[in-house]
Amino acid sequence: MKLLEERIRRDGEVLPGDILKVGSFLNHRIDTRLLDKMGAEFGLLYSGSGITKILTLEASGIAIASMASPYFDFCPVIFAKKIAGKNVSGDVITSTVVSYTKGVTYNITVQKDLISPDDTILIIDDFLANGEALKGLVDIVNQSGAALAGAGIAIEKAYQPGGDLIRGMGIRVESLARIKSMDAEKGIEFCR
């Protein structure tokens, strides 16, 4: 998606440790006009897939998923929680995720009764790099018994193994911007 690539090139910051900082428009200050257009793009890519619910992960996936929902007839958005707080009760589905960015392992949790085996799920998330978070979300869909239409990712670091890993599981992955390489000095190159 040209618009997102241009925005990443203009406002993204490549930091040491292979970090792409997009906090000025994607996951701290959110450019909702951009997210609306990204939502429309996901809507086109997955039109006719019969999506009944969007699944994402707190916190940075929530805005992207919510703004995409109108393009799927306002289907409900479920966000997996990273720590089961007091307000999650009853049966939950859980999966374990390793976050390389934050250097921690955590559980992601969805209340069981929020996804039914009749659902067709689209997973939406902001980043795909090692694929750990996405693998966890796929695991949750599989445990729920629902059908998985695929994943819609804002930014894929295509030089990292996550994309191949998840596509290798036979899962459709659509990323709006696929980074081939990035470097603080040489800048960002996208896959063509």
Point out which residues bind its own copies (CB under 8 A).
Answer: 15, 17, 19, 21, 23-24, 27-33, 35-36, 53, 58-59, 62-63, 66-67, 69-70, 74-79, 81, 85-89, 101-103, 110-111, 114
> What's the closest the beta carbon of residue 113 comes to its own copies, in angstroms?
8
Eight-state DSSP code of residue 90: S
Name residue 174's amino acid: E
Pick 118 or 192: Cβ nearer its own copies: 118
| Local structure of 140: helix, strand or coil | helix
Residue 145: closest CA among 185, 165, 115: 115
Q: What are phi and psi of 180, to 5 degrees?
A: -85, -40
| Local structure of 32: helix, strand or coil | helix
Q: What number of other Cβ atoms are within 10 A of residue 68's Cβ? A: 26
Pick 34 or 166: Cβ nearer its own copies: 34
> What's the closest the beta carbon of residue 69 comes to its own copies, in angstroms?
4
> What's the closest the beta carbon of residue 117 comes to its own copies, in angstroms?
16
Pick 36 or 189: Cβ nearer its own copies: 36
Pick 100 or 164: Cβ nearer its own copies: 100
CA atoms within 13 A on the CB side of 45: 22
> What's the closest the beta carbon of residue 19 comes to its own copies, in angstroms?
6
Name residue 191's amino acid: C
Pick 168 or 184: Cβ nearer its own copies: 184
Contacts of 110 (CB under 8 A, 6+ apart): 55, 78, 80, 81, 92, 93, 140, 144
> What's the closest the beta carbon of residue 83 comes to its own copies, in angstroms?
9
